[in-house]
Amino acid sequence: MASGGDARRVARGTWVELHRVVLPPGERAPKLPEETRRVPLELRVRGFLIADASPGESAEVRTAAGRRQRGTLDRVLPPYEHGFGPPVPELMEVGEELRAILRGEESER
Amino acid sequence: MTAGDAYAAVMARRDEIVRRSVGIDYSVYRIGSLAFDYERLLADTGYDVETVAAIQEGTAVGHTPLVELERLTRLVRTTAPAGKGARIFVKDEAANPSGSFKDRRASLSVHEARERGFAGVAAATSGNYGAAIASQAAKAGLRCVVVQEAFDSAGIAQPEIAEKTRACEAYGAEVLRLSVGPELFYVFLRVLEETGFFNASLYTPYSILGIETLGFELARELLARTGRFPDVVVATHAGGGNVTGTARGLAAAGAVETQIVAASVDLSGLHMASDRDFNRKSFTTGHTGFSLPFTTWPDRADVPRNAARALRYMDRFVTVTQGEVFYATQALAQLEGMERGPAGNTSLAAALALARELDEDRTLVVQETEYTGAGKHPMAQLALARRMGIRIARGDPAASRPGESIIIPERLDQVRCVDVDLDGVRHSYLRNALAAAPAGTRLEEADVAFLAAETHTTPDTVQEMIDARHASTR
């Protein structure tokens, strides 16, 4: 085992994400739509790495619930990537339109 | 994976796993040939609405503000005939600890789990309920596992569910994120077996009794504010718990005349088990993909007898489009200063149309809001929709097609509710109930009474519906 030589080696205790296939296409539930039936049921779980491992290797984590979970080491310190995205022009006009209606109503009072 | 972990093997153990993890023997509630004693199932928990309220006060759940939406009411009146335009109120459920009314459901489930000595709780949910159960578990010192349907086969996460993943992890829960498919239930059963945790299902009596305080509070508050109970309460409708619990709470407060309207986002044409359709919907809950199947057959849930039975309580069932809900979300933010939703604003969109039909002196309560934030926002949903090739435009939302286009209304009077044919829903329910009964079942008096309660009709009407079915199948 390389010590310090393998730059991709991830140290135990690191927060990582594992990936595993729970059900391959042939073992999935009956009566699924075709596009779902032909792909595997995949699982992703995060936790603290129990022993040093490299991405792509089988690894084990201790989850936030204290359980051990196995899978392929996929991501190290997985970021939360969801956000808001760009402004939506179709929505941005709505507020001003509605405020204008209320202003019109006020001036009639 | 051992043979005992295979899909069919785990599903075959389903009843046993669920019985152990919920701690309820549902078989003792059977009456007649197909009926069960729904009220006794709920009563046997020992919780009434006041006891639940006291438990919820212990974790800062409930007593959320009831806010009058004066500017939205004025706005609606500009599009209504003279003398029309009911006063609109909203129960700001986003003020609960994890940001939605789901804290009410979670609080009682976690309380029950702790009382029974479970070391942890588990829930199968991609929605706000995950954050709620994780939050309540954190306060109770219990461990928590949440199983989500989170991403498609291309690895693209639904932004709203990604936010729920983050929230659950923020509260210290383990989150198992799955790709698309109903086998989420299979994974959930394995979690229950492996952990021995309490099954904090959305459909147990605890989950429903937890919501009764919402209807109870809003009835009392509106009575204090206006001197009368609400004329109409609109509830966003998915699995049925929100409608059921709210309606029961209203009745417990004495508001028996209040009209209950269930509102869902129209996602017709999109398949809930489709890997392709998964990211072509901008709503992950409160939509017809859940509400229609659960209204017409509640016992498709993860417990043998679902305590959420919305058809018993709804007086009206309406749908709105995705574009209308985004429009209502903007209106709430920019006219009332409340940035909430979007999914929780389904009932608000419906309310903007319903209020137009009602006299000015009537009151209409939108019974929830939910927190908003990264991913869980119209901008994030519409950005994903564009990426998936969905057309976004201003116009008449009636022309929109789920999965193909989202049309933001150009004018307030284009926000409309479409009524779901409740008689058709009742017939579908009856067909499903009779199909689930063992072959050769003869209906007893208790069964007919049960079916009348289930369909919110009378025994005579049930008999007529059954006779009509026999005539048409002959």
Question: Residue A102 corresponds to which amino acid?
Answer: L
**For chain A, how far is it from start to end, CA to CA, in angstroms?**
82
Cα distance between residue B125 and residue B130, in whole Å: 6
Kindly report the nearest CA distance between residue B305 and chain A, in angstroms.
22
Of B125, B127, B129, nearest in space to B147 by CA = B125
Counting the structural domains of chain B, the total is: 3
State the Cα angle at B88 between B86 and B94, rounded to 5°.
Answer: 165
Q: Please, which pLDDT band fits residue A108 given cuts at 50, 70 and 90?
A: confident
Question: Both B250 and B393 in a single domain?
Answer: yes
Q: Please, which pLDDT band fits residue B1 given cuts at 50, 70 and 90?
A: low
Q: Please, which pLDDT band fits residue B266 given cuts at 50, 70 and 90?
A: very high
The token pair at B43 is: 């009563």
Q: Please, which pLDDT band fits residue B439 given cuts at 50, 70 and 90?
A: confident
Residue showing tokens 């890997």: B275
Question: What local confidence, expressed as pLDDT, does residue B474 receive?
Answer: 59
Q: What are the tens digits of pLDDT across the range B60-78? A: 999 999 999 999 999 999 9
Question: Both B282 and B339 in a single domain?
Answer: yes
Question: ipTM for the complex?
Answer: 0.94
Question: Both B88 and B112 in a single domain?
Answer: no
Question: Both B334 and B391 in a single domain?
Answer: yes
Q: Contact, B360 vs B83, CB < 8 A?
A: yes
**How, if at all, do strands B405-409 and B418-419 pair?**
unpaired
Cα distance between residue A41 and residue A29, in whole Å: 10
What is the DSSP annotation of B146-199? EEEEEE-TT-PBPHHHHHHHHHHHHTT-EEEEEESSTTHHHHHHHHHHHH--EE
Q: Please, which pLDDT band fits residue A109 given cuts at 50, 70 and 90?
A: low
Q: Contact, B302 vs B15, CB < 8 A?
A: no
Interface of A with B (CB under 8 A): 22-23, 27-29, 32-33, 35-36, 39-47, 63-67, 69, 80-88, 90-91, 93-95, 98-99, 101-102, 104-105
Helices (H) and strands (E) in chain A, counts: 2, 4
Q: Is the pTM of this model over 0.90?
A: yes
What is the DSSP annotation of B65-108? -EEE-HHHHHHHHTTSPTTB-PEEEEE-GGGSTTSSTHHHHHHH
Of B305, B251, B364, B249, nearest in space to B35 by CA = B305
Q: Is the pLDDT of residue B469 over 90?
A: no
Q: What are the tens digits of pLDDT across the range B339-348? A: 999 999 999 9
Specify if B39 maps to a domain: yes
Q: Please, which pLDDT band fits residue A2 given cuts at 50, 70 and 90?
A: very low
- The whole domain housing B433 covers 429-473
Residue of B nearest to A32 (CA): B273
Question: Both B90 and B106 in a single domain?
Answer: no
Question: Both B82 and B112 in a single domain?
Answer: no
Q: Is the pLDDT of residue A1 over 70?
A: no
Q: Is the pLDDT of residue B99 over 60?
A: yes
Residue showing tokens 């329910």: B429
Residue A47 pairs in a beta bridge with A16
How many contacts, defined by CB atoms under 8 Å, are there between A and B?
Answer: 162
Residue of B nearest to A31 (CA): B273
Specify if B424 maps to a domain: no
Phi, psi of B281 (to 5 degrees): -115, 140
Specify if B375 maps to a domain: yes
Q: Is the pLDDT of residue A105 over 90?
A: no
Cα distance between residue B261 and residue B367, in whole Å: 11
Question: Both B231 and B90 in a single domain?
Answer: yes
Question: Both B199 and B74 in a single domain?
Answer: no
Verify whether the Cβ–Cβ distance A64 to B177 is below 8 Å. no
Question: Both B156 and B220 in a single domain?
Answer: no
Phi, psi of B210 (to 5 degrees): -60, -30
CA distances from B450 to B30, B239, B390, B447 (A): 11, 20, 44, 5
The token pair at B323 is: 């574009």
Determine the 3-state secondary structure of B321 from DSSP: coil
Chain B hits for A45, CB-CB cut-off 8 Å, are 174-177
Specify if B321 maps to a domain: yes
For range B189-193, the mean pLDDT: 97
Chain B hits for A99, CB-CB cut-off 8 Å, are 334-335
Of B244, B236, B251, B253, nearest in space to B287 by CA = B236
Q: Please, which pLDDT band fits residue B437 given cuts at 50, 70 and 90?
A: confident
Test the B interface: residue of A38, A94, A102 with most B CBs within 10 Å: A94
Question: What local confidence, expressed as pLDDT, does residue B240 receive?
Answer: 97
Question: What local confidence, expressed as pLDDT, does residue A107 receive?
Answer: 80
Q: Please, which pLDDT band fits residue B394 given cuts at 50, 70 and 90?
A: very high
Specify if B54 maps to a domain: no
Q: What are the tens digits of pLDDT across the range A38-96? A: 999 999 999 999 999 999 999 999 999 999 999 999 999 999 999 999 999 999 999 99
Verify whether the Cβ–Cβ distance A36 to B176 is below 8 Å. no
Question: What local confidence, expressed as pLDDT, does residue A106 receive?
Answer: 76
Question: Residue A86 corresponds to which amino acid?
Answer: P
Specify if B21 maps to a domain: yes
Phi-psi region of B269 (alpha: psi -120 to 50; beta: other; left: phi over 0): left
Q: Is the pLDDT of residue B458 over 50?
A: yes
| Residues comprising chain B, all counted | 474
Q: What are the tens digits of pLDDT across the range B268-294? A: 999 999 999 999 999 999 999 999 999
Cross-chain CB nearest to B144 (options A29, A46, A65): A65
CATH number of the domain within which B142 lies? 3.40.50.1100
List all residues 6 or more positions away from B335 whose beta carbon is below 8 Å from its beta carbon: A95, A98, A99, A102, B69, B71, B72, B75
Determine the 3-state secondary structure of B39 from DSSP: helix
Q: Is the pLDDT of residue B257 over 60?
A: yes
The token pair at B58 is: 């212990």
The domains found in chain A, sorted by start residue, are 15-80 (2.30.30)
